[in-house]
Chain A
Amino acid sequence: MPELYIVRNSPIHRLDARLKVIFTLAFILSLSLTPFRAWAAYILFLTITLSIALLSRLDMVTLFKRALLALPFALAALPLIFSTALPHSLWINLSGFQVSISPEGTARFASIALKAWISVQAAILLAATTRFPDLLAALQRLKVPAVFIAISGLMWRYLFVISDEVSRSLRARSSRSGAASASLHTGGSLFWRARVTGGMAGSLFLRSIERSDRVYAAMLSRGYTGELPTGDAMPFSRTERGILVLGILLLILLWLLAILSGG
């Protein structure tokens, strides 16, 4: 599993998880609400993620690079560059073929890619500065249904155990994936390989369902009746409220700036 939570002792790490969740959501929302070509605003949004990274004592270059992984999807927006429906399209002659390049379309493409890249940074920062159980508790206090919190908690608990099982199965499989002699075509048929993998999946799910029976029995033995903890309603402290309000105000300001400068 790739590292998510990065252990640091920083002011951001110490912040109440609810604050971080709300702010991250507000950040991504306000960024999404900005129009195209609001370059100044985008830079300011980027400054926010950079500042938070700084405050969290996280490495910015790693942040930027990880966020790039969201970008292959950006190719879906590539056609914008070639649009003729948008104003001011240029026609370019490429060895006899006429292709239209739209500066407007390119600007839109760039806007989409930038916004996506920055949004992912916000999500990465949230994950890197918040322990998963704290995140779950925060979500519960923010009124996410208790069932999901309980299910996600168990999933988290067993995710690594089961991933290890999968790793071992895959390893056992590669250990038996050998070659007899150079002349034979190895690997079996694609169909066969897929079926074997299906068998592994079936075996995995079966064992997991049985494991869940054992977990259920253990829960029952410790008094579980199906009732789920509702979580304590902890009100925000004054400083926390203050930080949140300031943060949201900042985002609204950036959004206004974006509307005025872009579009």
Chain B
Amino acid sequence: MLLSSNPMHIPDGFLSVLVSLGMWLISAVIIGIALRKTKDELGEREVPLMGVLAAAIFAGQMLNFSVAGGTSGHLLGAAIATILVGPWAAILVMTSVISVQALLFQDGGILALGANLFNMAIVGVFVSYAVYNLLLRLFKKQPWGIFAAGFAAAWASIFIASLACALQLALSGTSPANITVPTMGAIHALIGSGEGLITTGALFFLLATRKDLLKLGEASPTSNKSILIGGSLIGLTLVVLSPLASTHPDGLEWVAEQNGFIEHAKAAAYTLIPDYAIPGITNPALATIAAGILGGVIVFAVAYGIARAEKRTAQQESLQE
């Protein structure tokens, strides 16, 4: 939460070991594929381009615009990266950024890095790619089409990544889905708008200056089908799964049981997936109120975190000559 001011970097201790390792595995496989694909495409240009772009995205996360009161909006950059260098290279760039943020700035845990990479570098990129391409095709006749596509891609990258994050927290038993999904979803629907606006502004600038640099400048007929399908699938799955999970919190445990997780876990000396905690308050109206208050507290904490990170960035700024 420190530098990026984006409340999606999960620290260590919040995800169960099973979820953490599982996410590590999935991320490692996909990043491995990205490595191969990028090498084929870029050749020796790969390293200097990725390296400097990663620095730019890292630094770019310092850019802010004031929203209201003391809060400000910031950038994650997955969508811009995808539009600039294509999905596979974007995955590599975001991986480097997020990894260094975790390793050096403790922005996100080390065990949890697999999950954070999955959410921001993979889901963020894939979803941007899918949304961007689909909308570009839809609006290709309109002059504003590219901006709508860019906005939507950036918004979706944040929003859907946050759903993945919420579900990981729920699966770990840290926080029940019927709290995390709506809260993360709501916060990031807002933050996503900031990302969308900044991305659109950047697109506007780039189109006017070096249009040739936009890898995904136009909807190309040869756009990578697998990512298109993958990105859309991930997005849809998360969007469908999340409300399901939040209304049927038992559902996830039921699924886990069916797949033998619980049996397997019970074989160990202790449960790897802790008991699913449901904040049930018998009065349903009260339940919503309590959820609302908790949501509000979480939003406040997020804003506080953002404000503090802002203050630190401002202090860094005044350090420069």
Write the residues of chain A forming the contact surface with B, with a CB cutoff of 8 angstroms: 1-2, 4, 24-25, 28-29, 31-33, 35-36, 66-67, 69-70, 72-80, 82-86, 97-100, 105, 108, 112-120, 123-124, 126-127, 132, 135, 145, 147-148, 150-159, 161-171, 187, 190-191, 193-206, 208-209, 211-213, 215-216, 219-220, 224-226, 228, 259, 263
Contacts and interface: CB of A to CB of B under 8 A. Distances in A.
Contact of B106 (A123, A147, A259): A123
Interface residues of B, number: 106
B191 to A, nearest CB: 12
A75 B299 CA distance: 10
Contact of B12 (A1, A120, A153): A120
Interface string B1-22: 1110001001111101100100
A80 B280 CA distance: 10
11 contacts: A148-B96, A155-B55, A157-B51, A157-B55, A166-B59, A190-B65, A199-B201, A206-B206, A206-B213, A213-B48, A225-B44
A135 B54 contact: no
Given A155-B54, A167-B320, A28 B110 contact: yes
Given A32-B111, A70-B106, A209-B213, A201 B301 contact: no
Contacts, number: 345
Contact of B275 (A85, A98, A132, A225): A85
B218 to A, nearest CB: 18
A73 B11 contact: yes
B179 interface: yes
Interface stretch (B122-130, B135-143, B255-263, B281-289): B281-289
Contacts of A163: 58-59, 62, 316
Contact of A152 (B100, B304, B316): B100
A218 to B, nearest CB: 9
Contact of A32 (B17, B75, B183): B17
Contact of B110 (A4, A24, A215): A24
Interface string B290-321: 10001001100110110010001000110010
Interface string B187-213: 000000010011111111110011001
A100 B206 contact: no
A145 B320 CA distance: 34
B48 A116 contact: no
B39 interface: yes
B58 A100 contact: no
Contacts of B210: 206, 209
A198 B197 contact: yes
